Homo-oligomer: A and B are copies of this chain.
Amino acid sequence: MAPAAKVRVAINGYGTIGKRVADAVAKQPDMVLAGVAKTRPSFEAVRAVEKGYPLFVAGTGRAAEFEAVGLKVAGTLPDLLGRADIVVDATPDDVGLANRAIYAQRGIRAIFQGGEDADIAEASFSALANYAACRGKRSLRVVSCNTTGIARAVSVVEPRWGVASWEATLVRRAADPAESSRGPVNGILPHFHIPSHHGPDVRTVYPDLPIVTTALVVPTTLMHVHANHVRLRTAPKDVAEVIRAFRETPRFHLFAPWERVDGTPQAMEYARDRGIGLNDMIENVVWEAGVHLEGRELRFFQAIHQESIVVPENIDAIRAMLDLAPDGPTSVTRTDRALGIPAPR
């Protein structure tokens, strides 16, 4: 029997998310990177070329601008779309909406990011939550980093003990490490809209979850941290049962107290030491010492690496749409193995 042809994936937008999804696609055994589209030359475009990624000119970009600095381009976005089975749109917020028409016109399946409104696609997606329901869709939206982090935690807690109510306070990073123009430099900015949009966004993948989120922005670039308070329907035996449940779930990483990880600075240092592509921390970070259970009241912190957490989710979304795996867990295992994320212990 002939081996299945690999799926050809196009990436439109080559910033924080796009470059990571490109790398992740390139590592998957059942996918091939058709190319990446970028608007302007930059050090990141150089790196794409060095990695052998076909480089296409996106949006309002001009090929001449790339060629003037010695960067060879393989064509424009339409050329790229013509060579691909599916496109991952990783353009800035709200640009995806404009692109949707282009993709629709060409009849190419498309994945959008969580910065877009939920109605941009047939469904919103989070791998541990609703893989099965998203199979065969022609368009999906991978929910945002914070929503992904919450959805993963829900996938641990809800099936085991039930959720009577879930309150999350999201302490958000102000900017990504390479975004040098955004603030605040010194201050805390609450989101006055309560609940914040994250709770409703979680319900795009867990429709009936009784969740309310509030959010604040603080001057750091590394990770978001969530403080969660969950009222469970049934009580776990003890906190160890909860910690074990996190530990045995894919895409969670737990730190024990003796590891001396006091917060996000050391969690990202761990990620640097581990050395998965771009030194990312693709898993939800949970500190054992920061999980607290009292009867049916569960409280825990989790840290979310805003740059990378949605990357494996995009990969799984591709598999769901093109039916490349028998089920969600199989896709997740395949993705994580290819990315070098350790399997749950």
Contact = CB atoms under 8 A, between A and B. Distances in A.
A162 interface: no
A90 to B, nearest CB: 15
Contact of A195 (B69, B179, B292): B292
A214 B189 contact: no
A57 to B, nearest CB: 15
27 contacts: A41-B260, A43-B269, A44-B273, A46-B259, A169-B227, A171-B188, A177-B186, A177-B268, A178-B269, A182-B184, A186-B219, A186-B220, A186-B222, A187-B265, A188-B223, A189-B264, A190-B287, A192-B289, A194-B290, A212-B229, A212-B299, A214-B299, A217-B263, A218-B218, A219-B219, A275-B278, A278-B279
- A-side binding surface: helix, strand, loop or mixed? mixed
A256 to B, nearest CB: 7
Nearest to A50: B274
A214 B227 contact: yes
A216 B227 contact: yes
A174 interface: yes
Interface of A: 19, 40-44, 46-47, 68-69, 167, 169, 171, 173-175, 177-190, 192-195, 212, 214, 216-223, 225, 227, 229, 255-266, 268-270, 272-275, 277-279, 287, 289-290, 292, 297, 299-301, 303
B187 A222 contact: yes
Nearest to A268: B177
A209 to B, nearest CB: 16
Contacts of A264: 187-189
A320 to B, nearest CB: 29
Contact of A180 (B175, B259, B262): B262
* Central interface residue in A177, A266, A270, A279, by most chain B CB within 10 Å: A177
Given A167-B229, A290-B194, A186 B278 contact: no
A214 B287 CA distance: 14
A183 B174 contact: yes
Given A221-B185, A273-B278, A263 B47 contact: no
A229 B214 CA distance: 10
Contacts of A180: 183-184, 187, 189, 262-263, 265-266
A174 B185 contact: yes
Q: Report how many copies the assembly holds.
A: 4
Contact of A43 (B68, B69, B260, B290): B260
Contacts of A222: 177, 186-188
A265 B186 contact: yes
Contacts of A212: 229, 297, 299
Given A177-B269, A183-B183, A265-B179, A188 B259 contact: no
Given A171-B218, A272-B279, 15 more contacts: A40-B260, A42-B258, A43-B261, A46-B259, A47-B270, A69-B258, A171-B171, A171-B188, A175-B183, A180-B265, A182-B182, A194-B292, A212-B299, A229-B229, A272-B278
A264 B19 CA distance: 20
B227 A192 contact: no
A220 B185 contact: yes
A255 B68 CA distance: 16
Contacts of A297: 212
